[in-house]
Structure formats: C-alpha cells, structure tokens
C-alpha cells in the first residue's frame, strides 16, 4: 500500500499532467481561432489583418507555455524541480493521451513546459518525450479529410464542382475561363495514361483550404490506380476584389517549392494536423514530416520531429562534423556533416571589425526573421539550447574552431558528451559565390536573375539584407536564391538611401578619404557594384536585369509603397506558370 508521501507525489504528478494537457487544449483552441479567421480575411482581401494574424499566431504557443509553466510552479510548489515528479507526471500524461487525436503535438507541449522549468537542461526520455509514447500509424488518410469527385464526371464538370466546393463569399472574375485553363493544363499530365486508366480516375481535394499571404491554395490529388498526381490551385484577388485561379501545379518539385522552408506558414483549418501532414506526405514523399508540420504553423512540433530525425540519422552515420565549406563569417561559425541536409550555426563570442554588435542583438535579428513574412527568400531556422553532440563525431579541426571562437557556449560533459549552449539549425544550401565558380553561362544568367529577384522581394517585404555579399545568399536544389545571413538585416524603412555627392573641388576628387558625412543608417546603392568584384560575368548578367537596384530612386519608391500600406504579391512558382488573363476592367 503506497505511503502518504507517495500518495502526495502521485497527486501532484496527476495535477501536473492535467494542467499541462489543459494548457495544451487552451493553446490549440487559441491557435485554431486565429486560423479560423483566415477565410474571412482572404474574402475581404484584408492583407494587413493577414500579416497581423500570422504574427499573432506565432506568439500564441510561447505565451501559453509561459503562463502554464508559471501556473504549475504555483500549483505544485518546490517539488516542481524534483526529477521524480516528472517521471510520474510523464506516466500520467501518457495515460490520458492514449486516445488523444493530437497526442504528438500534446507531447511537444509537455516538452516545452519541462524545458521552461529546467532551462532546457537534462532533457531525456525518462522525464520528457525525446521519443514519442506512441508508434506512428501507416499513412491511411481518412476520407473525412477530403472531397472525392466521381470518376464518371467530365473533367470540365469535375473542375467546376471543385471550385464551387470552396464556397468563397466573393465573386469570380471569370470562372469559366479559369475552368478551361485548368482543364487545358491537366491534359499534359493525364495524357500519359490510357483512356481506360483515365476513365477510372478519382480526384481527392482537401476540405481545408490553405491560406497564406494574399492567396488561397486548394490542395488535391488525382488517383489513377497506383499512381498519384498531386496538384495545387492558387486562387487570388484582382483589384476589384474578384477571384481568379492564377495557375495549376502538378509537378512534385514545384509543389515542394510552394511548401518551402523559405516561406511563411499556411493557415489551415483542422482539428487533426497529423492527418493533414499524412495527406501532404503522400503528395511529397521526400519532404520530411518536420517541414510539413512547420508549413501548417506547428513550428514547435516541427522542431520535435526534426530532433527525432536527427537522432535517427546520427545512429546510422559514421561521418564527422566538419567546418562548413565557404568563406568564414565574422559573426557566425558554421559546421555540418558532409552528407547531411542541414548546417549548424553558432554565434561567436567576439566579432571581428567592422562588426559592432552583441550576441543578443544577433539573436534579435533571427527572431525578426522567424516572425516576418519570409516571401520565399529567407530560410527558416530551428533554435536550440543545450544541444548535445557525441564528441567522437566532431573533427579535430572543428573542435579547435568551437573552443577558439565560442568557448562560452561549449560545455564538456565528460566522456564523449559535448553540449553547445545555443545554436541555430538551417537547411543546407550552396553559397552563391561557390555556386558561381562552376556554373555554366546559362546558369550564371539564371542565378543572377534570381539573386536580383531575391533582393527586390525582400525589399518589398520591408527587409533590407544589409550585407548583400554573394556569400550571404544560398542556392537551393530548385535553383532558387535564398538569403541566410541575418546579422545585418533591418526594416527597409529604417534605411536612408543616398546618392554619393559629387566632389566640390579637386582636393575632394583626389582624396582617399570620404569628403561627406555618413550616418549609421545611410545606404549608397551605387556601391552595390562592388559585390561582383572579380566576377565580370555575374556582374554583366545582374546589370542586364537588375541595374535599377543601383539607383537611389528605386529604393525610395519601395519605401514609399511600404509606408502607403502596399503589400507585395509573392508567387511560389515561376511567373511563366501563371495563366494568361485579359486586362482587368477599369475600376
């Protein structure tokens, strides 16, 4: 028979588990309520509200973890810091989660509370959910998740039913034109199959529409026996508030770009996020579940899934961590495993001149990016505290580098354990300067056009990269150019763009010193040419397409647009993919 002390501990553990689950349910409800407004915001074309809701939803999780952790501290008292309580608490939590539809995300919420209480220290499977308590089921998506359209229908009628099924409270610009565009675009993928196969096809469309920025995305699949063709229909507004289908995407690689790690999170109405992820995983089998959870806004659980994938990868590889190839940064030290798809970034203890900032200021830059519309041009990151490595898997050169540049972050835990106090993990890309070294003339033209587009889209989203050196941009496997070095970024509207003054006399003209004053926020676009020193081909390709970036007037006009409330149209696909539409009616 348990002692009175043991009964007291059990009671506290039960209260701890119940409070955490209640906190999770409250967090999920708040998250869902913000998401539920996405349809109305889209129908009204209320783009400022879209941006505000996106930022608000990101903060919900952190705020709820803070409030529930403080509540539990008061509820349990000093025993909250006793590891045994968390062993018991986890056991009770597993019991009450046994039939919970969202047990995966609820486990992550438990982990977040534990990490808050213990400062991200001593995270292990005895006290928290390093591994899940339940085994994942095979990918069998319930038909309650999607509409299935009859294979007997004509493709035109099926497409009309599909668009009607969206139930948008807004007029269409020209629905019949859009239907014809979709049907024409579908002929290519469908003609690969015989008439017999096509007669038996089924079309499944998720009931939940995906909302992001200024577009709504209808996600579905064409099923032809064992074959699956994924598709996405982006729907947008014209200037009169009427709807139109901008394109249709069938290609898996292009679909992957729509769900890229460089874009803001979708708003998706669902009480069962894991089923949405299962459906998407069938459409994009090579995309990790961690990425898919992030895509629909469950960023913390994305981090959990990533960490579990990392542990599995480390259990299979014999590679050692090495310093990442490329020019070393003045603020960050970067390392990786040669065959791994991610890089690890730590902030150095001291920055070489002319860098003049603190570690906290650099962290704030990364927080800015995590909450901003990344417009497909900034990489998302996972931020970790007390991240543990097996010291035997770190190369001698890298180990010397870590102790040399950031000794305050390194903790030797004895035996083979090395802990880094704080780091960022980011998708691996080829640095643009390295990519150009072996690029063909055609690839140079394409990537320089991408580089210019990246700068322009960041600017229109009110982001100035600061240091626009080629080494601070990366090239993805889809040959998109993405910015990933955030220590110099700032809102574009904080910048003062100036033209270099003409010298007033011969002394000023011949002087090696500046004859004019330069403020802390002054930017001289004429100097951007210096970024191409030593690479005349890249400079020529850039200037043929983006020489307007050298003009002060270009930048000040973007600032004027931002201050006037203009929000950029950003397309997660090439412009050539867009359907042709007649010139919009005069308003």
Which residues are catalytically annotated? 380
Contact call for residues 306 and 425 (beta carbons, < 8 A): yes
φ, ψ of residue 88 in degrees (nearest 5) = -65, -40
Coil, helix or strand at residue 426: strand
Length of the chain: 587
Q: How far apart are CA 337 and CA 331, in angstroms?
A: 21
Contact call for residues 142 and 275 (beta carbons, < 8 A): yes
Cα distances from 575 to residues 129, 139, 480, in angstroms, run: 44, 34, 13
Q: How far apart are CA 80 and CA 4, in angstroms?
A: 18
Who's near 389: CB < 8 A, 6+ residues apart? 321, 417, 418, 419, 420
What separation, in Å, do the N-terminal and C-terminal C-alpha atoms of the chain show?
81
Closest CA to 17 of 74, 87, 99, 100: 87
Phi-psi label, residue 212: left if phi above 0, alpha if psi -120 to 50, beta otherwise = beta
Q: How far apart are CA 431 and CA 481, in angstroms?
A: 9
Coil, helix or strand at residue 126: coil
CB-based burial, 39-49: b 16+ in 10 Å, e otherwise: bebbeebebeb
Q: How far apart are CA 57 and CA 52, in angstroms?
A: 9
Question: How many Cα neighbours within 13 Å face the side chain of 413?
Answer: 16
Burial class (CB in 10 A: 0-12, 13-18, 19+), 136: exposed
DSSP 8-state class, residue 146 = E
Phi-psi label, residue 45: left if phi above 0, alpha if psi -120 to 50, beta otherwise = left
Q: How far apart are CA 539 and CA 139, in angstroms?
A: 49
Q: How far apart are CA 538 and CA 367, in angstroms?
A: 32
Contact call for residues 355 and 487 (beta carbons, < 8 A): yes
Contact call for residues 322 and 336 (beta carbons, < 8 A): yes
How far from chain centre, in Å, is Cα 336? 20
């Amino acid at each position: 028979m348990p002692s009175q002390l043991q009964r007291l501990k059990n009671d506290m553990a039960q209260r701890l588990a119940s409070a955490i689950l209640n906190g999770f349910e409250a967090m999920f409800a708040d998250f869902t309520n913000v998401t539920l407004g996405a349809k109305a915001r889209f129908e009204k074309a209320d783009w400022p509200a879209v941006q505000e809701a996106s930022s608000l939803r990101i903060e919900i999780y952190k705020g709820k973890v803070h409030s529930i952790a403080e509540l539990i501290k008061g509820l349990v008292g000093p025993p909250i810091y006793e590891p045994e309580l968390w062993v018991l608490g986890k056991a009770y939590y597993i019991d009450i989660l046994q039939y919970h539809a969202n047990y995966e995300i609820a486990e992550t919420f438990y982990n977040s509370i534990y990490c808050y209480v213990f400062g991200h220290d001593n995270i292990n499977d005895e006290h928290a959910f390093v591994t899940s308590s339940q085994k994942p089921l095979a990918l069998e998506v319930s038909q309650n998740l999607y509409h299935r359209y009859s294979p007997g229908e004509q493709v035109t009628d099926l497409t009309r039913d599909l668009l009607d099924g969206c139930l948008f409270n807004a007029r269409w610009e020209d629905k019949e034109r859009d239907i014809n565009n979709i049907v024409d675009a579908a002929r290519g993928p469908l003609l690969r199959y015989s008439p017999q196969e096509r007669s038996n096809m089924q079309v499944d469309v998720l009931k939940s529409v995906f909302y992001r920025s200024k577009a709504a995305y209808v996600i579905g699949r064409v099923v032809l026996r064992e074959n699956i063709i994924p598709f996405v229909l982006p729907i947008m507004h014209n200037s009169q508030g009427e709807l139109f289908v901008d394109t249709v995407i069938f290609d898996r690689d292009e679909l992957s770009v729509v769900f890229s790690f460089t874009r803001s999170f979708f708003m998706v109405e669902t009480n069962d996020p894991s089923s949405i992820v299962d459906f998407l995983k069938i459409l994009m089998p090579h995309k990790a579940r961690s990425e898919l959870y992030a895509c629909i806004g469950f960023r913390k659980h994305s981090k959990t899934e990533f960490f579990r994938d990392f542990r599995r990868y480390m259990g299979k590889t014999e590679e050692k961590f090495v310093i990442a190839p490329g020019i070393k940064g003045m603020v960050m030290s970067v390392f990786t495993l040669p065959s791994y798809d991610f890089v690890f970034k730590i902030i150095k203890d001291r920055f070489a001149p002319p860098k003049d900032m603190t570690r906290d200021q650099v962290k704030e830059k990364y927080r800015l990016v995590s909450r901003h519309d990344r417009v497909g041009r900034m990489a998302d990151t996972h931020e970790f505290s007390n991240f543990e490595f097996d010291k035997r898997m770190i190369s001698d050169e890298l180990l010397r580098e870590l102790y040399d540049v950031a000794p305050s972050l390194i903790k030797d835990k004895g035996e083979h354990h090395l802990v880094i106090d704080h780091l960022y993990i980011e998708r691996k890309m080829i640095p643009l300067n390295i990519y150009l070294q072996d690029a063909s003339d055609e690839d140079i033209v394409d990537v320089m056009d991408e580089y210019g587009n990246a700068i322009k889209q960041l600017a229109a989203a009110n982001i100035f990269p600061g240091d626009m050196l080629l080494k601070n941009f990366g090239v993805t496997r889809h040959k998109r150019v993405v910015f990933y070095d955030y220590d110099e970024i700032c809102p574009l509207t904080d910048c003062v763009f100036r033209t270099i003054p003409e010298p007033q006399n011969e002394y000023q003209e011949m002087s090696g010193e500046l004859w004019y004053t330069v403020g802390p926020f002054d930017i001289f676009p004429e100097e951007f040419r210096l970024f191409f020193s030593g690479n005349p081909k890249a400079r020529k390709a850039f200037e043929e397409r983006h020489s307007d970036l050298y003009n002060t007037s270009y930048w000040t006009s973007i600032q004027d647009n931002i201050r006037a409330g203009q929000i950029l149209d950003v397309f997660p696909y090439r412009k050539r993919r867009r359907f042709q539409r007649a010139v919009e009616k005069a308003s």
